[in-house]
Amino acid sequence: MHWPGARHSESERMSTPEHVAIIMDGNGRWAKSRGLPRIAGHRAGVEALRQTVRAASDHGIRWLTVYAFSSENWSRPKSEVTDLLGLLKIFIRRDLAELHQSGVRVKVIGDRQGLATDIKGLLDEAEALTSLNTAMNLVIAFNYGGRDEIVRAARKLVAAVKAGQVDADSIDADTLANFLDTAEIPDPDLVIRTSGEMRLSNFLLWQAAYSEFVFLPCYWPDFTRSDLAHAVQVYSARERRFGGVAPRDVAL
């Protein structure tokens, strides 16, 4: 039986989140409010991401996951998709050396099949170069959708059952989790979404089952280290029960 709360001690409940995941929303509205093209918002969003990686590292956050491009984002106008892919390429080309120097390990989640060879090559390179780093983990969700990830995991699990590697009767939540893109990654403790929208938008559907959510009104390009500090503070004031009861209420 899988007891989600069993792995979490009382001290863990109140400490700095080990894993923060961010839905970086509002780039388009940030640009529009300034009379700028949407790409300007995405560019400013990349700068906010740079600052956030540094701030997260300063906070002692071990894992930072960012929703860079969803499996549904392909339906945006072709020019915007091209711009977003271009920004990802620039980000990796320009920032990889600094990330590596700072000891950041880069990991990419999402479906890599069918991606253009140059993008796939850059993602592979970022992971390979930084694979032994230990200061912090930056997880980039790219061509990522939570439902798609679960479907791909189910397919892999079925193949493993057919190959006799997994006993179908012994499948539990941990078995399926081991086939997700996030198999080696702890579940997010805190999910932050900017821009005032209050949705998960297909982000980490499985992994966010017991996450705390903090929704902030600012557009992503305006997100600063003090917004991160605020979100962490709100998180640490929350009481996480993982479906159980608070220790002080056990006897009631």
Residues that bind ligand FPP (CB under 6 A): 24-29, 42, 45-46, 49, 68, 73, 84, 87-88, 91, 140, 195, 220
The token pair at 235 is 């998180």
Q: What is the DSSP string of the chain?
A: ---GGGG--HHHHHS--SEEEEE---HHHHHHHTT--HHHHHHHHHHHHHHHHHHHHHHT-SEEEEEEEETTGGGS-HHHHHHHHHHHHHHHHHHHHHHHHTTEEEEEES--TT--HHHHHHHHHHHHHHTT--SEEEEEEEEE-HHHHHHHHHHHHHHHHHTTSS-GGG--HHHHHTTSTTTTSPPPSEEEE-TT----TTSSTTGGGG-EEEE-SS-GGG--HHHHHHHHHHHHTS---TTS--GGGTT-
Nearer to ligand FPP, 88 or 136 (CB): 88
Closest residue by beta carbon to ligand FPP: 28
- Whether 111 sits among the annotated catalytic residues: the reply is no
Nearer to ligand FPP, 27 or 207 (CB): 27
Q: Are the C-beta atoms of 42 and 27 separated by less than 8 Å?
A: yes
Nearer to ligand FPP, 17 or 26 (CB): 26
Nearer to ligand FPP, 142 or 179 (CB): 142
Query: Cβ of residue 27: shortest distance to ligand FPP, in angstroms?
Result: 4
Query: Cβ of residue 64: shortest distance to ligand FPP, in angstroms?
Result: 11
> Count of alpha carbons within 13 Å of 69, Cβ hemisphere only?
23
Query: Cβ of residue 17: shortest distance to ligand FPP, in angstroms?
Result: 20
Nearer to ligand FPP, 27 or 130 (CB): 27
Query: Cβ of residue 211: shortest distance to ligand FPP, in angstroms?
Result: 19
* Given 27, 58, 73, 118, the catalytic residue: 73
Dihedral of the alpha carbons of 23, 116, 42, 229, in degrees to the nearest 10: 40
Nearer to ligand FPP, 47 or 167 (CB): 47
- Whether 187 sits among the annotated catalytic residues: the reply is no
Query: Cβ of residue 25: shortest distance to ligand FPP, in angstroms?
Result: 5
Query: Cβ of residue 82: shortest distance to ligand FPP, in angstroms?
Result: 13
Catalytic residue list? 25, 73
